[in-house]
Structure 1
Amino acid sequence: MAVQPNQQLVLDSSQEQGFISFYRGLPEKAGTTFRVFDRLEYYTVHGQDAIFAAKDVFKTMGVIKYLGAGSNKLESVVLSKLNFESTVRDLLLVRQYRVEVYQNKRSGKQNDWAVAFKASPGNLTQFEDILFGSNDMAESPCIIAVKVTVLDGSRIVGVGFSDATMKKLGVCQFPDNDQFSNFEAILVQLGPKECLLPQDQSQDYAVIKQVLERGGVLVTERKKGEFNNKDNIQDLNRLLRFKKGEQPNSAALPQMDKQTAMCSVAALIKYMELLQDEANFGVFSIETFDLSQYMRLDSAAVNAVNLLPVPGQGGNKYQSIFGLLDHCKTAAGHRLLAQWVKQPLVDLNRIEERLNVVETLVEDTELRQILEQDHLRKVPDFQRLAKRFQRKNANLQDCYKVYQGLEKLPHLLETIEKHSGKHRSLLMAHFNNPLTELLMDFAKFQEMVESTLDLGQVENHEYLIKPDFDENLQALREKMDELEADIKSQLKKAARDLGLEANKTIKLESNAQIGYFFRVTRKDEKVLRNNRNYSTIDAKTSGVRFNSSALRRLNDEYMSAKGDYSDQQKTLVAEIINIAAGYAEPMLMLSNIVSELDVLTSFAHAATAAPLPYVRPNMLEKGSGILLLEEARHPCLEMQDGVAFIPNRVEFHKDGHMFHIITGPNMGGKSTYIRSVGAIVLMAQLGCFVPCTSAQISIVDAIMARVGAGDSQLKGVSTFMSEMLETAAILRCATSDSLLIIDELGRGTSTYDGFGLAWAISEHIAKNVNAYTLFATHFHELTALADEVASVSNLHVTALTSDDTLTLLYRVRPGVCDQSFGIHVAELAHFPKSVVEFARKKANELEDFHTVSTHGITEMSTEEGSSPAKKRRLAKQDGEELIRKFLAEVRDLPLDGMSQEDAAAHIERLREQVVAAKNPYVNNLIGRQDD
C-alpha cells in the first residue's frame, strides 16, 4: 500500500470549474490509457484514473477527493512523486498501459494544459529516467508495426521494429499463410511489447490481432495513411548513422527493397515522434531480420516449455527456463539472455562455439567463480551509459562509471588469459582480443577523465572538475577548502562544549541536501537539552542531527561556494560530455562482448548448480533424424523444493520411430515427459548444457505445440477452436525437422469427433510430415495406429493399483497403458459403490463394442475379441493369473530343505515358464517387448 501524500490540491471555485470543463472536454480515451496532471510538486489524476489509483495504488477509496459539486463533481487523487514513479513503472512495464502526462503551459490561462510526455509499453524513451533512474535497465523494450499486402496472389507481411532505447530500426518481410504462423514466430523472436496496425477491418488483420493477443502484445491502431513510405528516404537520412564523411543516402540501403516492411517503419517513425528530438539524428542503425536464422517457436510452445516467467507473478525463479538460466551479473547480460532464450540457434557452428565456451567454464571452476564474483558484477551498464552520452544528458558521474569500468576490465582479461584449457584460443579470439583493442581506443578517454575529474572528491560522492583545470575553479576550491577546515574545527569546539569525544560520541557529517551537521546517538541527546548554543535539526533512530550558529554560517558559505563551483564548471562539463559522446559506439561494443561472456558464464553456473549436473549435448546437423536422451529430466521441475525427479529415456530415429503416442493416467507424468523434451532441445540450441546423462540432438527448425487449451471467452475463442487453430498451424508449417508436442488433442468436442480428428491428424503427421512428435492422449484406441504406421510407437506412464491406493511411478515404458484409471480414481474419491460398478459395466460394454478400422474410423464390431481394448483387458486377466500361479508355486517351494543356489535356480525356471507364455501384460511389467 502506497504512503498517502502530504500535498493537497487546492483550487478556488473558478479554478475548479475551469479545470472540470477542460477535463470534460478532453477526447475520450481507452481504459488502458492513464492520464496524469503535473502540478510541479506533485501529480493528480481524475475520473476513472482517480478510482484506479485509489484501488490499485493506495488500496483504499478514502483518498478520493472531489472537485465541484452535485452532478458535476469530479473524482481527484493526489500522487506524490514517489507514488507517481512507482505507478508509472507498474503501468508500463507490468500492466502494459499507456501513460500521458499533462503540463500547464502557463501562458496566462488558468487551464492551458497539453500533453508534455507520453509513453507506451514499446516506447519508453521519455520515461527512461523515471522507470530506471539510477538502476540498470532490466529490459530493452521493442515496438513493431505490421502491414499486409497481396502480391501475385501471395500474402506478404512487412514488419518494422524499433528499439528507441538502443537506437535501432529493423525490417523483416516474408510470405505467410492465413493463420500467420510466420508472424507468430517472429513475434516470439523479437518479443515486442506493442504493435501498430492500420485501422483495417479485413480478415487478415483480425487474425493478426488474435495472434498478438495470444502473445500478450498491446495493439495500437493507427491511420492507414501513416503506413506510407513516401518520406522514408528523407526521414532516414536524418535519423541513421552513416560513416564519417559519407553522404547520407538511404535510397541505396538494401532494406528499401522491402517496400511493405518500410511502410511499417514509416508508421513507427511517426508514432514514436523520432524526428521531434534532435538527439535522435544520426544515431540510429537499421538492420534486416532473418526469420530463418533462429528456431521457430509459437506461443503455445513458449508456454509448453515454460520459456519465460509469467508477467506480474513473482515466486520461484526456477519456474521458467529464463529464470533457471539467469545467473547474470550485468544488466546487459540479463537483457541479452532475455533475447537469446527467444532466439535458439539453428546454425551448428554457432551452437558449438557457445558450447565450447560453456564447457570451458564448467570444467574450470576457478575461472567461472572469479568471473562471477570478482569481475562481471563490477562492470557497469555500458549500454545504458552509451545512450545517455548520445542523448547528451549524461553527467560527470556517468563519466566516472565508464572510467571505473574500464579500470576493471584489464583484470578480467588477465583472468581469462591465465586459462590453459583446450578452448583457450576461442576465449582469446572471442573475448580478450577484441576487448584489448577497445581498451586501447579508450586510452584518450581515460586520460581525459584523469586530467579533468577531481578523483579525490569522488570518495565523498562529489563529481567535480579538478580545480587546477581553471583559474576561477581554483579560487573557489581554495575557498571551499578553507571553509571545510573551519567547519572541522567546529567539531572540536562542540565536543569540548558538550563534554563528548570527537569522532566517537559526536561526529561531523554531511549530505547533499543540507550540507554539514553534527550527530550524536539518541542516548547522548540529553546534552543538547536547554543548550541554546545548539539547534536540533531532526531526531531519528540513527541519531540526533544538530548544528550551531557558527556551523550554520560556515555551512551556508560552503554550500554557496559549492553552488558557484557547480555553475562555473557547467561549460567545462558540457564540453567533456560532448567528447565522451564520441565513445558511445565503442561502449556499445564493450557491452556486447561482456554481456555475451556473462550469459555463457550464467549457462555454466546453471549446469553445475542443478541437483544433478547437466551434460554437454552432442549436436548433429539438421536432418540427421536422431534425438536420443538418456535419463532426461525437466530442468524447471527438478529445481522445485521437495521434488525427486524420475528421469526417462527419449529416442527418435528417422529409420525407426519418429511418432510416440503416450498413454497413462492423469497426473502420471505424460505432460511433464513431453514438455521436458522440448525444454532440453531448446536449451541445447541456446548453447547450454542439458539435464540428461547423455544427449544426441539433431538440430530442429521449430518447436510447435498444442497443449492444455482453456476457454478464452473474452476473446470469443472456445477450447476446441483454440486447439484446432494451434493444430492447423502445426499441419501447415511443420517439417521433418520440427519437434511437435501435442497434449490431449480432441478433448474439446464429442468423444467420436475428438478421436476421429486425433487419428487423422496423427496419421497425417506420421505419414506425410514425419516430424519428431510426442502425442500424449487419453484415447487408448489411438494406440492401434502403431500397427499400421511403422514410424509410430506406443509409450505409457506406469502406475500400480491396489484396493485403496493408486501409486504413480512417473516412469515411461514401451507399450500401451493396460487400463484406464478413471474408475479407480472415482473409487478413491468415495463414489457410491453402485455408481462405480455401473460405470465399470458400461465402460466394459463400450470397450467390447467399439474397434478401430485400418483407416482410423470408429466402427461397430461384435466379433469376439476383435477390440484392441478388449484384447488388452483379456491379456491383463491372463497375465494376472500367470503371476498368481507363479507366486503360489514359489510359496510352496520347500525352501528349508534347499540350498540358496538350488532355490534361485528353481525360481528362475518358474520365471522362464512365465516369460515363455509371451503374455503382453507380463512382458510389459518386466520391461520386455513382444517379438
Structure 2
Amino acid sequence: MRQYTPMIQQYLRVKAEYDDAFLFFRLGDFYELFFEDAVKASQELEITLTSRDGGSEEKIPMCGVPHHSAAGYIEQLIQKGYKVAICEQTEDPKQAKGVVKREVVQLITPGTMMDGSKLAAKENNFIAAIDCFNEETFGLAYTDLSTGESKVTLLEGNQDILFDELATIGAKEVIASQGVIKQLLKGIEERCQAVISYEDQCHFSDEFQSVLDNVQDEKMNIPALRLLHYLKRTQKRSLDHLQPFSIYENSQFMKIDFFSKRNLELTESIRGKDKRGTLLWLLDETATAMGGRLLRQWLDRPLIQKKAIEKRLHLVDIFMNHYFERLDLCELLKSVYDLERLAGRVAFGNANARDLIQLKKSLMQIPAIRELLASIKDEATNRISENLDPCEELTDLLERSIVDNPPISVKEGGMIKDGYHEELDKYRDASRNGKDWIAALEKEEREKTGIKSLKVGYNRVFGYFIEVTRANVKFLEEGRYERKQTLANAERFITPELKEKEALILQADERSIELEYEIFLEIRKTVKTYIPRLQKTAKIISEIDVYQSFAAVSETRHYTRPSISADRKLTIEDGRHPVVEKVIGSQGYVPNDCYMDEKREMLLITGPNMSGKSTYMRQIALTAIMAQIGCFVPAEKADLPIFDQIFTRIGAADDLISGQSTFMVEMLEAKNAISNATKDSLILFDEIGRGTSTYDGMALAQAIIEHIHEKIGAKTLFSTHYHELTSLEEKLLRLKNIHVSAVEQEGKLVFLHKVKNGPADKSYGIHVAELAALPKELIERAEEILAELENGQLRHAAPKKEETKITGHDHEQLAFFGEPKATLDSREKKVLKEIQSINLLEMNPLQALNTLFSLQKKLKK
C-alpha cells in the first residue's frame, strides 16, 4: 500500500470490501475506475482506457464516466450480470484535511435494480435467498425491491424443486451462505441464469419485525433474515416499502416444471426466447405495468382450488357482459402509473417531483374507477369498489404543492406551487421584484445617460453590473458610477443601490432553491406514510386489470367459460391452440374435440409428421392452464377436471451445457413425470424413444405407457410413430387409439389436421420429406427402399450391379453377423425360429436385452 498515493490507498481499501463488484469511485464530476476494474470496464462499456500516476513506478490503468450520465453505464454492467459499488464523497472538499472522505453508499446488483430502461415494466425483478436444511428441504425467500412484494416458502424434494422455483420466479440474484454446496450454486447459475451473492448474517433484528410478522416457522425465518441482512448491508437506505413476507406452499398451485413451461411456451418462446408467440403474449391486454406483472405470476402458478377458480371466472364473465363499462375502465387504467414502483422509489429516496405528479394523476382515477365498478351492480365488483382507497388527503396535498410540469432535478427549484409555503413565497416575491427593479434601472439609466446600448448584466463572479461600451464611456458624468471591470471593448460599473438589490436577489434565489428542496423532502416524507395504502390499492388495481384483459381477449377470440368437472372427465368440443390460432387466423385453424374419462385415461396418438399431433397435445394443456388461471378457453364447450401437475416431453434438444444427449434429456424428463405424477396430473409425451434404436425405443415407449396406465392413472396423451404400439388398445383397458388424419391426392400428401378415433393407417414419412423439397432422386430411392423393407427384401449392403441371387425364405436372407450369406446353417435357422416365437411387445427393456444376449451366445458357439 505504501508505494501508492493516499488517494489510491483509499481506493484500494474500499475496493477490498467489494472485490466482486466494479467500484465507481467519485472524483469531482467523474466516477473513476482503476487497475483491473478499469481494464475490464473499458472493454465492457467501450470507453477509453487511460492511465495515471499513483505513486508506483508504473502508471495505473484508469477509465471514467461523467457522474451525470453514469446511470446508463451502470445499467449496461448490471444487464451483463455484474455488480457496481457506488463510492461517493461524504465530506466537503473545502473542509477536508488531506484526502476527502469517501464511502460506498449503495451496491447495485442484478437483483437490486430499482429503475432504468432495462427494468421491464411488466416483469418482476426478484432477488432470492436460499438455505439448505438437508438434501430434500430448502428454504426460499424472495422480494422485488422495486415493488416491495415479498414471499417465503419451504420446498420439499430434490434440488430440481429448488431450480424450478427459482426459474419460475425468474430470480436475477440468489443469496446464500458461504457454506452452501458449490455444486448446488453452480446448478443455480446454469439452470436459472442467476448471479450468486453471499450473506452469512441471519440473526433476528427488531428493525425487521414488521416484515416478519407472518413468518413463525424457524426454517422460513432463516432465508428471510438472510435476504433482509443482505439488502440492509448493500443498499444502506430505508426499506420501509418492503411488504410483510407472505407464506405460500407449492401444493397450493398447479405444478409445472421448468422444462414443461418451456415446452408449452407459457411466457418465453423456444426459438426467440422472447414474449412473442407465447400464451402470455396472447393474453396480455393489460393497461398497467402492475397488471402485466400479476398476469405473469398467475400464469406461473395456476390455481387448484375450485372456489378460487370460479371466483376469477365469475369476474371475467361480468366484464365480458358489460362491454361499455369495460371500455371505460380500460381508458381509466391507462392513466394509472406503476403505483408499486412509485411507492418503492418514494421509500428508497429516489422519487422526484415528476414521480409524485404521476402518483397524483394515478390516484385521481380511483374515484371514477370505484364509481364505474359500483354501477355494474354485482356483489363481487361492489366489494372491489369498496376496497379501493383513493387516498384523498394525499391527492389534495400533491395537488396543492407540486407544479404540474416539474423539472427532473429536485435541487434546482421550480417544483413547488406559489401559495403552498409562505416563506418560499416571500423569497420568490423578493427575487421577482428585485429583477423587476433591475429591468427598471436599465431603462432609467439609458434615458438619463442617453446611451441606448447601456445594459445591466450578471455573472457569477461579479454579480450584477452596468456595462457601457468603450465608445460611450465619455458620455458618462464623472463619479456617476463606480468602475468594477475593464474589458477590451467595454467598461463595467456598479452602484451602491445595485449591490444592495443584488444581495437581496441572490439571497432570495439561493434560499428559495434550498427551501424548495427542504419542502419537497417533507412532502416525500409524508407520501412515505401512505405506502401501505398505496400498495393495497395497487394490488386491487392490478387484479381488475387482469380480469378486464381476460375478458377483452376472450371476447375478441370467441372463448368460452369452462366448467369444472367433479368426476375427472375432460370434454373439449372444437378446441383450438390459442396461440397458433392467433398467428394463422381463425379461418385457417381446424378445431378438434377431446374426450377423456375413467374408461379413456390414455390417448395414443398416431399420424404423419407435421399433421398436428404436437399442436393437439399442447392445446389440451394450454386449455387446462387457461381455465385454472381463471380465463375463458378456446373451445365451443369445455368441461375440465382440476389438474395438480402438468408434465410434458415435447420436442428434442441436447443439453450441451451439462453434456447430456437428446435421448438422456428425454429419459430424465420422462423420469420426472413418472416419479412425481398423480392420478390428477396431465402428462404429454411426444414420440418417447425416438432418440435410440427402433426396438429399444419401442420397448421403452411400451414400458412407459404400461407403467403410467397401471401404476399412476394420470390423464395422458402419448404420440408415437411406432405403429406396433397401437395394438396396446386390446390389452390396456383405459387406453384408446386416436390419429390425426391425412390423405393422398394425386400422389401428394394433404394434411387434414382432424383428430379421429382409431390408429393411423401409415406414416407418410416420405411424403413429408417430399414436402420439404428433398432431391427428387433421393425421394425415389427412399420409395424403392421402403418397398423392399415392406417386402422383407432389403439387404445390409447397397445394391450392386451384379448380385448373387439368394434363395430360400425371406426371413433367411440376412445373416446376423458379418457379410450376407447365400444360405443359413442349422444353428442360425434354429435361432431364427426362436426369434419368430418371441413377442417383443410383451417384454420390458431388460427382458429384451437378456433375450438378445442369449441369442447372440447361441450364434457365436
Same fold (TM over 0.5): yes
Q: CA deviation at 1:72?
A: 7.5
Q: 2:246 aligns with which of 254, 264, 287?
A: 287
Correspondence for 2:171: 192
SS in 1 for 2:726: helix
In the aligned structure 2, how far is the partner of 1:807 from the partner of 1:748? 27
1:158-307 correspondence to structure 2 within 5 Å = 158-176=139-157, 178=158, 180-187=159-166, 189-199=168-178, 206=183, 209-210=186-187, 213-214=190-191, 216-220=192-196, 222=198, 226=200, 229=202, 231-232=203-204, 235=205, 237-241=206-210, 255-257=215-217, 259-274=218-233, 277=236, 279-280=238-239, 284-307=243-266
Whether 2:438 is the aligned partner of 1:477: answer no
What letter is aligned with 2:842?
H
Correspondence for 1:580: 527
Q: 1:407 aligns with which of 339, 364, 372?
A: 364
In the aligned structure 2, how far is the partner of 1:783 from the partner of 1:104? 76
Q: CA deviation at 1:344?
A: 1.0
Correspondence for 1:875: none
In the aligned structure 2, how far is the partner of 1:309 from the partner of 1:797? 27
Q: Does the C-alpha gap of structure 1 residues 835 and 413 become closer, same or farther in structure 2, counting only changes over 3 Å?
A: closer
Between 192-201 and 786-795, report the one with greater CA deviation: 192-201
Tell which structure's C-alpha radius of gyration is larger.
Answer: 2
Q: 1:608 aligns with which of 555, 575, 590?
A: 555
1:483-882 correspondence to structure 2 within 5 Å = 561-610=508-557, 613-621=558-566, 624-640=567-583, 645-801=588-744, 805-826=748-769, 829-830=774-775, 831-832=777-778, 833-834=780-781, 836-842=783-789, 845=792, 853=840, 855-857=842-844
1:254-403 correspondence to structure 2 within 5 Å = 255-257=215-217, 259-274=218-233, 277=236, 279-280=238-239, 284-310=243-269, 317-373=275-331, 375-403=332-360
In the aligned structure 2, how far is the partner of 1:792 from the partner of 1:112? 76
Q: 1:444 aligns with which of 383, 393, 396?
A: 393
In the aligned structure 2, how far is the partner of 1:812 from the partner of 1:72? 76
In the aligned structure 1, how far is the partner of 2:371 from the partner of 2:502? 47
Q: Does the C-alpha gap of structure 1 residues 292 and 630 become closer, same or farther in structure 2, counting only changes over 3 Å?
A: same
In the aligned structure 1, how far is the partner of 2:637 from the partner of 2:29? 63
Q: Does the CA-based 8 Å contact 1:702-1:734 persist in structure 2? A: yes
Q: CA deviation at 1:844?
A: 5.0
In the aligned structure 1, how far is the partner of 2:702 from the partner of 2:122? 46
Q: 1:427 aligns with which of 366, 381, 385?
A: 381
What letter is aligned with 1:162?
T
- In structure 1, stretches of 5+ residues that fail to align are 1-12, 243-249, 493-548, 861-931
In the aligned structure 2, how far is the partner of 1:110 from the partner of 1:34? 21
Q: CA deviation at 1:586?
A: 0.7
Q: Does the C-alpha gap of structure 1 residues 167 and 853 become closer, same or farther in structure 2, counting only changes over 3 Å?
A: same
In the aligned structure 2, how far is the partner of 1:752 from the partner of 1:72? 70
What letter is aligned with 2:676?
C
Q: Does the C-alpha gap of structure 1 residues 655 and 51 become closer, same or farther in structure 2, counting only changes over 3 Å?
A: same
In the aligned structure 2, how far is the partner of 1:342 from the partner of 1:555? 65
Q: Does the CA-based 8 Å contact 1:188-1:297 persist in structure 2? A: no
SS in 2 for 1:768: helix
Between 75-84 and 465-474, report the one with greater CA deviation: 75-84
Q: Does the CA-based 8 Å contact 1:20-1:67 persist in structure 2? A: no
Q: Does the CA-based 8 Å contact 1:269-1:275 persist in structure 2? A: no
Give the total of aligned pairs: 741
Q: CA deviation at 1:687?
A: 0.8
In the aligned structure 2, how far is the partner of 1:25 from the partner of 1:81? 19
Q: CA deviation at 1:322?
A: 1.4
Q: CA deviation at 1:335?
A: 1.8
SS in 2 for 1:640: helix
In the aligned structure 2, how far is the partner of 1:354 from the partner of 1:24? 53
In the aligned structure 2, how far is the partner of 1:184 from the partner of 1:101? 32
What letter is aligned with 1:771?
A
Q: Does the CA-based 8 Å contact 1:742-1:774 persist in structure 2? A: yes
Q: Does the C-alpha gap of structure 1 residues 749 and 116 become closer, same or farther in structure 2, counting only changes over 3 Å?
A: farther
In the aligned structure 1, how far is the partner of 2:309 from the partner of 2:728? 36
What letter is aligned with 1:262?
N
SS in 2 for 1:240: helix
Correspondence for 1:498: none
Q: CA deviation at 1:284?
A: 4.9
Q: CA deviation at 1:39?
A: 5.2
Q: Does the CA-based 8 Å contact 2:766-2:782 persist in structure 1? A: no
What letter is aligned with 1:280?
L
Q: CA deviation at 1:337?
A: 1.6
In the aligned structure 1, how far is the partner of 2:791 from the partner of 2:231? 66
How far does the alpha carbon of each residue in 1:698-754 deviate from its partner, in whole angstroms, 9 at most, with x for none?
A: 111111112223112222222222222222111111111111122222223333222
Q: Does the C-alpha gap of structure 1 residues 289 and 53 become closer, same or farther in structure 2, counting only changes over 3 Å?
A: same
| Percent identical | 26
How far does the alpha carbon of each residue in 1:675-694 deviate from its partner, in whole angstroms, 9 at most, with x for none?
A: 12111111111111111122
Between 104-113 and 741-750, report the one with greater CA deviation: 104-113
Q: Does the C-alpha gap of structure 1 residues 357 and 14 become closer, same or farther in structure 2, counting only changes over 3 Å?
A: same
Q: CA deviation at 1:353?
A: 1.4
- In structure 2, stretches of 5+ residues that fail to align are 444-491, 493-498, 795-809, 812-835, 849-861
Q: Does the C-alpha gap of structure 1 residues 812 and 408 become closer, same or farther in structure 2, counting only changes over 3 Å?
A: same
Q: Does the C-alpha gap of structure 1 residues 49 and 175 become closer, same or farther in structure 2, counting only changes over 3 Å?
A: same
SS in 2 for 1:380: coil
What letter is aligned with 2:125?
P
Q: Does the CA-based 8 Å contact 2:578-2:634 persist in structure 1? A: yes
Q: Does the C-alpha gap of structure 1 residues 24 and 758 become closer, same or farther in structure 2, counting only changes over 3 Å?
A: farther
Between 635-644 and 741-750, report the one with greater CA deviation: 635-644
Q: Does the CA-based 8 Å contact 2:601-2:713 persist in structure 1? A: yes
How far does the alpha carbon of each residue in 1:343-381 deviate from its partner, in whole angstroms, 9 at most, with x for none?
A: 1111111111111111122222211111112x0011122
SS in 2 for 1:366: helix
Whether 2:131 is the aligned partner of 1:147: answer yes
SS in 1 for 2:285: coil
SS in 2 for 1:162: strand
Q: CA deviation at 1:625?
A: 1.1
Q: Does the CA-based 8 Å contact 2:575-2:591 persist in structure 1? A: yes
1:55-70 correspondence to structure 2 within 5 Å = none
SS in 2 for 1:655: coil
Q: Does the C-alpha gap of structure 1 residues 584 and 796 become closer, same or farther in structure 2, counting only changes over 3 Å?
A: same
Q: Does the C-alpha gap of structure 1 residues 344 and 286 become closer, same or farther in structure 2, counting only changes over 3 Å?
A: same
In the aligned structure 2, how far is the partner of 1:312 from the partner of 1:761? 29
In the aligned structure 2, how far is the partner of 1:334 from the partner of 1:799? 41
| Cα RMSD after superposing both structures | 4.5
